[in-house]
Amino acid sequence: MLGRRQIREKVVESLYAYYQNPIKLEAVEQNMFSEINKIYHLYIYTLNFLVGIKNLAEEQIEIGKHKYIKTAETENPNQKLVRNQILIQLEDNEERKNFSSKHSELVWDSNDPILVKTFQRIKAGKRYQDYMKDDQISFDDDQKFVGKLFLRYVAENSDLHDRFEEKEMSWADDLHISNSMVQKTIGFMKENETSHTLIKMLKDKEDEEFARKLLRSSLNNWEESEKKLQERLVNWELDRISLLDRIVLIAAISELDNFPLTASRIIINEYIDISKVYGTEKSNIFINGVLDKYSKDTKRV
C-alpha cells in the first residue's frame, strides 16, 4: 500500500500538474486518485508477469512431451518451477484473477517476446539451475527463490520497464512503489494458507482523507503559503525558486499548518526526501533550511 511518504509524493505530482494546467479542484482530486489507482494496475501487471513465467514453463513441458524424438528430459520433465508453492498461490489468488478478468490488457501472452526472453535468461542462470537440481522441496526455499527471481529478472529488467512506460507513462515514477508491493506480497505468503487478498493502494479511509485534505489545503491556500515562503527567503526572490522546489515547500507548509498532530521534524524530513526525488542536487539543503526556519518562527513542534 501507499505509505504517507508516497501519498505526499502523489500530492506534489498533482500540484505540479495543476500548475502546468489549472483545472477545477474536484478534477485535480479525481486525477490524483486515478493516478493512485494506476499503481494497482501496475502491481497486478507485474504479478501477472510472474504467473506468465509459470505458464510458459508449463507450456514448454507440454511441448516437450509431444516431441517426436523423446529424451529423458522430455519424458520425465523437471516440474519444480511449475510446482513452486509461491507461484501457485499467485496463480490461484482470486483477487488477482478477478481483476485480471476485467482488465485483459494486464494479462501476459505466453508468446510475448519480453516474457520469453526473460524466461530464457532465468533458465540460463546459476540460481535457477541450482534450484531445479535440488530434490528437497520446502516452502521457504520456494519463497526465497521467487523473491530473488523477482529482484533479478523483474525489478531490474530494463526491457520490462520500457514496456511499462509504453503502456502508461506514469508507471516509470511508480515502479519503486509497485516493486515494494510485489516483494511484500511474496513475503507475506504462508505455507498451506490460501492467499486471498492482495495489497490495497490506500490502507483505509484515514489515508484517503489525508491525501484529499493535503491536496485541498495546498491548493486553497496557495497564495498565502507563497507569502509565508517569501517571508522566509533571505536575499532571494520567490520567482527564482524552481517550480518543483516551490511546490514541495507549499505542500510542506500546508501540512505543517493543517496537520498539527504530526511532529514538524517528521514532516520536514519527509519533504526533504521528496525533494531528493524531484528537485536538484541542492534542493534538499534549501528546503531543509526554509522549513526549519518556518517551524521555529511558528513555534511548530
Indicate whether 111 and 53 sit together in one domain: yes
Indicate whether 29 and 178 sit together in one domain: yes
Indicate whether 36 and 184 sit together in one domain: yes
Is the Cβ–Cβ distance between 247 and 16 less than 8 Å? yes
Give me the DSSP letters along 33-95.
Answer: HHHHHHHHHHHHHHHHHHHHHHHHHHHHHHHHHT-SS--HHHHS---TTTT-HHHHHHHH-HH
Q: What pLDDT shows up at residue 35?
A: 94
Q: Residue 299 and residue 133: Cα distance in Å, rounded? A: 64
Indicate whether 62 and 165 sit together in one domain: yes
Q: What pLDDT shows up at residue 78?
A: 87
Indicate whether 122 and 264 sit together in one domain: no
Question: Does some domain include residue 6?
Answer: no
Q: What pLDDT shows up at residue 237?
A: 84
Q: What pLDDT shows up at residue 68?
A: 63
Q: What pLDDT shows up at residue 203?
A: 87
Query: How many C-beta atoms surround the C-beta of residue 101 within 10 A?
Result: 10
Q: What is the CATH number of the domain that holds 279?
A: 1.10.940.10
- List of the chain residues with pLDDT < 50: none
Q: What pLDDT shows up at residue 236?
A: 79
Question: Does some domain include residue 35?
Answer: yes
Query: What pLDDT digit, counting tens, does each position of 56-83 carry?
Result: 999 999 887 776 666 666 667 889 999 9
Q: Residue 87 and residue 82: Cα distance in Å, rounded? A: 7
Our count of domains for the chain comes to 2
* Cell numbers that stand for 167 in this block: 503502456
Q: Is the pTM value of this prediction over 0.85?
A: yes
Q: Give alpha helix (H) positions in 204-263.
A: 205-220, 222-231, 243-258
Host domain of residue 284: 221-297
